[in-house]
Amino acid sequence: MERIRPRTLSGFMELSPARQALFDRMVDSLRRTYSLYGFTALDTPLIESSEILLAKGGGETEKQIYRFTKGDSDLSLRFDLTVPLAKYVAMRAGELTFPFRRFQIGKVYRGERAQRGRFREFYQADIDVIGDGTLDIMNEAEIPSIIYRAFTALGLEGFTIRVNNRKVLNGFFETVGVERPADVMRTIDKLDKIGPEKTAALLESDCGLSAEQAARVMAFIGSTGDKASVLAALDALRGQSATFDEGADELTTLIKYMADFGVPDDHFAIDLTIARGLDYYTGTVYETTMWSHPEIGSICSGGRYDDLAGYYTDRKLPGVGISIGLTRLFYVLDEQGLLNDEVKTAPADALVLPMTDDLSFALRAATALRGEGIRTQVYTEKKKMKARMTYADRLGIPFVVFVGEDEIASGKLAVKNMVSGEQVSLAPDEAAGFIKNALAAGEGARCIKE
Amino acid sequence: MERIRPRTLSGFMELSPARQALFDRMVDSLRRTYSLYGFTALDTPLIESSEILLAKGGGETEKQIYRFTKGDSDLSLRFDLTVPLAKYVAMRAGELTFPFRRFQIGKVYRGERAQRGRFREFYQADIDVIGDGTLDIMNEAEIPSIIYRAFTALGLEGFTIRVNNRKVLNGFFETVGVERPADVMRTIDKLDKIGPEKTAALLESDCGLSAEQAARVMAFIGSTGDKASVLAALDALRGQSATFDEGADELTTLIKYMADFGVPDDHFAIDLTIARGLDYYTGTVYETTMWSHPEIGSICSGGRYDDLAGYYTDRKLPGVGISIGLTRLFYVLDEQGLLNDEVKTAPADALVLPMTDDLSFALRAATALRGEGIRTQVYTEKKKMKARMTYADRLGIPFVVFVGEDEIASGKLAVKNMVSGEQVSLAPDEAAGFIKNALAAGEGARCIKE
């Protein structure tokens, strides 16, 4: 037979079994955190009508999208989880209870140019809170606490959640007389990369600001350091723009309650340079950067928007949401050696090795262990003892349970701890307890180590 | 703005939040069962090169497949989880440890004609055990115990796992002198639907059997009833075909160990009419039918195959696997009223309702509850008390925690059980314990009720 060389498409992550186990642990951890904040899970189709997905249309999205026809239908693969959410909420606004809090962890598709660490199929882990007509600022204030718990639960300790408020930016630009605020935002977004001098120059050359206006913008975004000073700097600018004052109030509320939400002071900051490119953000915006690897950029971003589903419904649906690009984060953590190899990724806790022809006793032992929640395999291939032990070794199965003539005669199992080498003789029910205790001791390991 | 009517493609399941929660519970339950038997999780791409997916080619598959081009690439969406597994194992045979036990629960795509209960995007929940060169019969013997535990863990009690062996069928056909065994199998597969008379007639008219041959086939597949009698009937036919004898041995081994694997006698049967259409099954085959709804057909099927990845590698990779069509199963259970409404699908365990302007105490209470693992929302929308209680009611959140002036003064929380109406005053740490105890009492509910 002519054979086809097996391969996986470039830009598509496909993991080894052990790495997959770790990835799934990360997903489970995020699900738990999101659930802890009362978000409900959704799972929308991977395929939608192109008309729905491209309602907003234009730009990079349209070029990158996987679009095709099937019969008479013009179909596309989703490129984010936000548009499907907008569709879902618009369709079901009458039956949903608002504020509607949903999380979704799923694959999205973008046909980007393939390069290292860029994926065409990748997981996003999103939460959004959607209001019906209005949505209280406290929903925005709560988000950093979810980011904080999500990453600490994963094992990441050193990171800063940076917040800003688009009303503060827009209001300030208004008072300075900036005519093209979007251009100015795009420019100050580059501050980190190009430095203050070039930024100031670009503000004049590319954004049409006078030298004086540029200086005021630079002074404004130069307000850094502790949160009290930044808030004081904002307070000094109050009274000139209603939008600015509203944004300053919102930011003050956010900062005020952060400790009550359980976020340590050194894990969040106000960063007036954050604008988040997307047009639709209207209030608080978020970015999250790692202390040890700031070059990775933001690992969790989002913000407040006023109109989720304007393309589908005239019902006003404001919301706030964040997204973690999970596939890329996993890839980067792996590259940096930050995935924790102490997390157990073996497919089983115990391997039963029968050493007699009749397997009844060995199988009953395996059934008993499984009944106690111990993940158990029975190895019945006709191989030499050495090959059987190699099997357990290679998979990292922590306990091997030998069942030979002696065990059948005594009704006890020979349970060997593969790490310590210790071997004990135990009745099946004792064996379950013994293994469970040993497993519990090693269960604390989190996915990320720093 | 011109609006686009939001809609979901026909043939694509998209659930309400409560139904999604139940569906996810089913997925979690299957993951736990599969893990208990030492299977490792895989997650392969939704998209593969068409050349890979269609290596086998031809037939219905090719017509139904979602196939498209992106740039220069001829791509397809996977239509099952077996072909991607074959690719995965062929690619990584050198690094995997055999027997390789993997499960995968994921979406697959088939562009079938849309009709009620037929899905174009649906979940399959598969397990397979792949050997390198050989694979012991005990791997086949273990499968019914996995099916049994998977369904009982979901809450389904009344079902029969039917087993047969293709070697028994092929060997018997050999002894009878059947020239087109595939046609005969297809015909006897229809026995349930068309009855014995029509089956016998078709064996002569469509399969080229003589009246005598047809009678022998009918007598053979008429061996029903208890397993001992069927095995005795098989024993009587031994000594005429090596293939038959081997199959009879395998079937005998399967039956022998079923009790040790924990499968009750009334939950499995030998059914000599089961052939499973697919050509590649070579040994044991499985079907699973519900006692209360046999008309639904098999809810879990599979079998033994000798050559998983022959299109990609000359390495012989025999295996055994089963698949549950989860989306269709969920749909059917829902239609039949068999989903258990007692399963808690609320997005939160507790709703904190602050009744003062300053929210600090209420937020600290919520943070404390979350720290104890209680899924907690804080309701801060500026709505009347009635609207707030309606929110908790509609979502089915079992506990409301009121935080007013009295609570702040006393440092205690007013915790109301929304079912019993009982309200108690508790310190935050006591409240956590109180809610946890109450939740634990209701956690046993399984997804399916009969």
pLDDT tens, B233-292?
Answer: 999 999 999 999 999 999 999 999 999 999 999 999 999 999 887 678 999 999 999 999
Question: Which residues form the domain of B19?
Answer: 11-157+291-345
Query: Would B6 be classed as within a structural domain?
Result: no
Q: Is residue B56 very low, low, confident or very high in pLDDT (cuts 50, 70, 90)?
A: confident
Shared-domain flag, residues A426 and A300: no
Residue B169: exposed, middle, or buried by beta-carbon count in 10 A (0-12, 13-18, 19+)? Answer: buried
pLDDT digits 0-9 by tens, B363-390: 999 999 999 999 999 999 999 999 999 9
Residue A61 has pLDDT above 80, yes or no: no
Q: Mean pLDDT throughout B190-198?
A: 89
Residue B450 has pLDDT above 90, yes or no: no
Residues 342-361 of A with CB under 8 A from B: 347-348, 351, 359-360
Collect all residues of chain B within an 8 Å Cβ-Cβ radius of residue A71. 111
Shared-domain flag, residues A78 and A202: yes
Shared-domain flag, residues B400 and B431: yes
Shared-domain flag, residues B419 and B379: yes
Give bridge partners of residue A103 from the DSSP assignment: A41, A127
Residues 316-345 of B with CB under 8 A from A: none
pLDDT digits 0-9 by tens, A345-400: 999 999 999 999 999 999 999 999 999 999 999 999 999 999 999 999 999 999 99
Alpha-carbon span B4 to B171, nearest angstrom: 61
**CB atoms inside a 10 Å sphere around CB B296:** 16
CATH number of the domain residue A139 falls in:
3.30.930.10
pLDDT digits 0-9 by tens, A199-257: 999 999 999 999 999 999 999 998 888 999 999 999 999 999 999 999 999 999 999 99
Query: Would B450 be classed as within a structural domain?
Result: no
Amino acid at A202: L
Query: Would B447 be classed as within a structural domain?
Result: no
Count Cβ–Cβ pairs < 8 Å, chain A vs chain B.
252
**Mean pLDDT computed over every residue of chain B:** 94
Q: Is residue B60 very low, low, confident or very high in pLDDT (cuts 50, 70, 90)?
A: confident
Hey, of A8, A317, A391, which one would you mutate to test binding to chain B, going by the most B CBs within 10 A of its CB?
A: A8
Domain boundary among B206, B237, B268: B268
Q: Is residue B225 very low, low, confident or very high in pLDDT (cuts 50, 70, 90)?
A: confident
Contacts of B346 (CB under 8 A, 6+ apart): B395, B396, B397, B398
Query: Would A340 be classed as within a structural domain?
Result: no
pLDDT digits 0-9 by tens, A110-154: 998 878 888 999 999 999 999 999 999 999 999 999 999 999 999
Contacts of B385 (CB under 8 A, 6+ apart): none
What is the helix (H) or strand (E) element at residue A148, kind and residue range?
A: helix A138-154
pLDDT digits 0-9 by tens, A75-118: 999 999 999 999 999 999 999 999 999 999 999 999 988 788 88
Pairing of strands A67-70, B319-325: unpaired
CB A347 within 8 A of CB B39: yes
Q: Please tell me if residue B94 touches chain A, with a CB cutoff of 8 Å.
A: no
Shared-domain flag, residues A260 and A389: no
Q: Between chains, do B312 and A5 touch, taking CB under 8 Å as contact?
A: yes
Nearest to B6 among A40, A91, A380 (CB): A91
Hey, of B50, B54, B65, B70, which one would you mutate to test binding to chain A, going by the most A CBs within 10 A of its CB?
A: B70
Residue B107 has pLDDT above 70, yes or no: yes
Q: Between chains, do A41 and B24 touch, taking CB under 8 Å as contact?
A: yes
Alpha-carbon span A282 to A316, nearest angstrom: 14
Amino acid at A31: R
Residue B81 has pLDDT above 70, yes or no: yes
Shared-domain flag, residues B429 and B390: yes
CATH number of the domain residue A370 falls in:
3.40.50.800
Residue A58 has pLDDT above 70, yes or no: no
Query: Would B5 be classed as within a structural domain?
Result: no
Query: Would A99 be classed as within a structural domain?
Result: yes
Alpha-carbon span A415 to A20, nearest angstrom: 28
Hey, of B42, B76, B369, B391, which one would you mutate to test binding to chain A, going by the most A CBs within 10 A of its CB?
A: B42
Domain boundary among A312, A335, A358: A335
Percent of chain B with pLDDT over 90: 88
Nearest to B9 among A38, A48, A261 (CB): A48
Residue found under tokens 């033994």: B304
Helix (H, G, I), strand (E, B) or coil at A233: helix
Q: What is the pTM of this model?
A: 0.97
pLDDT digits 0-9 by tens, A416-432: 999 999 999 999 989 99
Tokens (6 digits) for A151: 């990453």
Alpha-carbon span B331 to B238, nearest angstrom: 44
Q: Between chains, do B375 and A38 touch, taking CB under 8 Å as contact?
A: yes
pLDDT score of A278: 62
Residue B117 has pLDDT above 90, yes or no: no
pLDDT score of B243: 97
Q: Please tell me if residue B8 touches chain A, with a CB cutoff of 8 Å.
A: yes
Q: How far B235 CA lies from chain A's nearest CA (Å)?
A: 21
Q: Mean pLDDT throughout B183-211?
A: 91
Q: Please tell me if residue B71 touches chain A, with a CB cutoff of 8 Å.
A: yes
Shared-domain flag, residues A325 and A368: no
pLDDT score of B1: 63
State the Cα angle at A131 between A127 and A133, rounded to 5°.
Answer: 150
Distance of CA A270 to the CA centre of its chain: 22
Residues 187-226 of A with CB under 8 A from B: none
Q: Mean pLDDT throughout A188-196?
A: 87
Pairing of strands B73-77, B47-49: antiparallel
Amino acid at A212: E
pLDDT score of B177: 95
Residue found under tokens 């909420």: A89
Q: Between chains, do A8 and B44 touch, taking CB under 8 Å as contact?
A: yes
Amino acid at B246: E
Residues 161-190 of B with CB under 8 A from A: none
CA pseudo-torsion sign A438, A440, A441, A447: positive
Residue B335 has pLDDT above 70, yes or no: yes
**Cα–Cα nearest to A304, from A437, A187, A166:** A166
pLDDT score of B190: 85
Residue A20 has pLDDT above 80, yes or no: yes
Shared-domain flag, residues A378 and A304: no
Q: Please tell me if residue B289 touches chain A, with a CB cutoff of 8 Å.
A: no
Distance of CA A20 to the CA centre of its chain: 16
Distance of CA B179 to the CA centre of its chain: 36
Q: What is the DSSP string of A322-381?
A: EEEEHHHHHHHHHHTT-B-TTS---S-SEEEEE-SS--HHHHHHHHHHHHTT--EEE--S
Collect all residues of chain A within an 8 Å Cβ-Cβ radius of residue B38. 347-348, 351, 375-377
Residue B58 has pLDDT above 70, yes or no: no
Shared-domain flag, residues B141 and B39: yes
**Cα–Cα nearest to B341, from B163, B165, B198, B155:** B155
pLDDT digits 0-9 by tens, B378-422: 999 999 999 999 999 999 999 999 999 999 999 999 999 999 999
Hey, of A73, A378, A390, A408, which one would you mutate to test binding to chain B, going by the most B CBs within 10 A of its CB?
A: A378
Tokens (6 digits) for B429: 């740490």
DSSP state of A2: P
Shared-domain flag, residues B300 and B405: no
What is the helix (H) or strand (E) element at residue A23, kind and residue range?
A: helix A17-36
| CA-based radius of gyration for chain B | 28
Query: Would B283 be classed as within a structural domain?
Result: no
Shared-domain flag, residues A317 and A376: no
Residue A186 has pLDDT above 70, yes or no: yes
Q: What is the DSSP string of A279-325?
A: TTEEEEEEEEEESS-GGG--SSEEEEES-S-TTT-SS---EEEEEEE
Please give the tally of structural domains in chain B. Answer: 3
pLDDT digits 0-9 by tens, A278-288: 678 999 999 99
Q: Which residue of A has its CA nearest to B396?
A: A97
CB hemisphere CA count around B322 (13 angstroms): 28
Residue B73 has pLDDT above 90, yes or no: yes
Shared-domain flag, residues A199 and A261: yes
3-state SS, chain B, equals CCCCCCCCCCCECCCCHHHHHHHHHHHHHHHHHHHHCCCEECCCCCEEEHHHHCCCCCHHHHHHCCEEEECCEEEEECCCCHHHHHHHHHHHCCCCCCCEEEEEEEEEECCCCCCCCCCCEEEEEEEEEECCCCCCCHHHHHHHHHHHHHHHHHCCCCEEEEEEEHHHHHHHHHHHCCCCHHHHHHHHCCHHHHHHHHHHHHHHHCCCCCHHHHHHHHHHHCCCCCHHHHHHHHHCCCCCCHHHHHHHHHHHHHHHHCCCCCCCHHHEEECCCCCCCCCCEEEEEEEEEECCCHHHCCCCEEEEECCCCCCCCCCCCCEEEEEEEHHHHHHHHHHCCCECCCCCCCCCCEEEEECCCCCHHHHHHHHHHHHCCCCEEECCCCCCHHHHHHHHHHHCCCEEEEECHHHHHHCCEEEEECCCCCEEEECHHHHHHHHHHHHHHCCCCCCECC
Q: Between chains, do B95 and A16 touch, taking CB under 8 Å as contact?
A: yes
pLDDT score of A135: 98
Residue found under tokens 């032990």: A389
Domain boundary among A311, A335, A359: A335
The dihedral over CA atoms of A147, A151, A152, A153, expressed in degrees to the nearest 10, equals 100
Tokens (6 digits) for B39: 């299977």
Percent of chain A with pLDDT over 70: 99
Query: What are the E-state strand segments in A86-150?
Result: 100-109, 121-130
Q: Between chains, do A262 and B371 touch, taking CB under 8 Å as contact?
A: yes
CB B165 within 8 A of CB B285: yes
Query: Would A287 be classed as within a structural domain?
Result: yes
Pairing of strands A413-417, A399-403: antiparallel
DSSP state of A266: G
Residue A71 has pLDDT above 80, yes or no: yes
Hey, of B381, B388, B390, B391, which one would you mutate to test binding to chain A, going by the most A CBs within 10 A of its CB?
A: B381
Q: Is residue A1 very low, low, confident or very high in pLDDT (cuts 50, 70, 90)?
A: low
